[in-house]
Structure 1
Amino acid sequence: MSFTLMSTAFKYGERIPKKYTCDDVDISPPLQWSNIPAGTKSLVLIMEDPDAPIGVFTHWVLYNIPPDKTELPENVPKTLVVEGIGMQGVNDFGRVGYGGPCPPRGHKPHRYFFRLYALNTVPNIKQRASKDEVLRIIKNNIIGTAEYMGTYSR
């Protein structure tokens, strides 16, 4: 079996429900994963929009997720440290935690990729880290990646 990521809130490639966007309550969707690679010591989740007009836009950076975790509940608190879940970095909105889809009006649907990285270490990443900082620190320790994608337009 391969390392997989999914959500009960929407199917792969389908529209992300409005409640998980800036047009509603802007809470994170529930995510589940399975078959993490043997030797995984921690997980990192990054959500980004490659279709943003300014280039890739980061919506969520979550790291030091314990390897025994198999899911994230809906509405992960937007705090630096989330008890039992991990630490959150700064997204491209300039805020800590999840920032939902919020594409410019009139654009074709944007794609939102959730990528879960399995690491063979628990990296020492400072609080409020950016996606670029996290990826730079973990790049040599990634032993598996799972991906899930939803779309949204306004």
Structure 2
Amino acid sequence: MSKNLPYATSASIPSFRLHSSSFNDGATLPPAQTSARFGVAGGKDESPQLSWGPVPEGTKSLAVTVFDPDAPGGGFWHWAAAGIPAGTGSLAAGAGSPDGGMLPAGAFQLKNDAGFSGYLGAAPPRGHGPHRYVVAVHALDVADLGLGAGAPSSKLGPKLDQHTLGRAVITGRFER
């Protein structure tokens, strides 16, 4: 397992393309992806638009995660969705709304570290410096990870370690 991420990273895990029309890889997150709930001016707590592919052969489902490895205490889960059908190639901006209504049939959200299912925008502590928001799409070799809707996102990392065929990653940055 990576020191900074809650799941293993390895050069032997194939990568695939991941793009967001919401922000560019390595760029500062726009207000839409920051947190109104945690007092960021202009924040909207809107999950980013994502498009990816092609996924590795044998992919049976996908998971999407957003993790801040720079948060105090060893990191913070901002979003996790699993059970995404393998043929899915994108998610619209806002798919991580707490009602999950924009996710594909069969997909579900886990609880983020703020305690609710859905996307929580960036909101690092003031003066803590820049934080990275690692957005990852995980291609999985199983259709069911054995976790249900509302399970804590922290339970997802070990499952990803066991079942990831490929992973695509982009990173946004934010500080206040």
Alpha-carbon separation, structure 2, partners of 1:91 and 1:114: 14
Q: Determine the C-alpha separation between the residues in 2 that align with 1:26 and 1:127.
A: 20
2:162 alignment partner, SS class: coil
Match of 2:128 in 1: 107
Q: What one-letter code is carried by the residue in structure 1 that aligns with 2:75?
A: V
Q: What is the deviation of 1:10?
A: 1.3
* Count, aligned residues: 154
Are residues 1:9 and 2:22 paired?
Answer: yes
Partner residue in 1 for 2:8:
none
Q: Shift of the alpha carbon at 1:99? A: 0.5
Q: In the alignment, which residue of structure 1 is the partner of 2:86?
A: 67
Once residues 147 and 89 of structure 1 are traced to their aligned partners in structure 2, the CA distance between those partners, rounded to angstroms, is: 19
Partner of 1:79: 99
List alignment gaps of at least 5 residues for structure 1.
none
Structure-2 change in CA distance of 1:80 and 1:27 (3 Å)? closer
Q: Does residue 1:36 correspond to 2:55, yes or no?
A: yes
**Where do 5+ consecutive residues of structure 2 fail to align?**
1-13
Greater fraction strand = 1
Q: Bigger CA drift: 135-144 or 9-18?
A: 135-144
Partner residue, 2:68: 49
Instruction: Decide whether the 8 Å contact of 1:10 with 1:17 is kept in 2.
Output: yes
Q: 1:91-141 deviations in whole A, cap 9, x for unaligned?
A: 001111100101011221110001111111111322211223223334322
Larger displacement relative to structure 2 (33-42 or 79-88): 79-88
TM-score, normalised to structure 1, is: 0.92
8 Å Cα contact 1:80/1:89 also seen in 2: no
Distance 2:100 2:23 in 1: 27
Is structure 2 residue 118 aligned with structure 1 residue 97? yes
Partner of 1:121: 142
Percent sequence identity over matched residues? 35
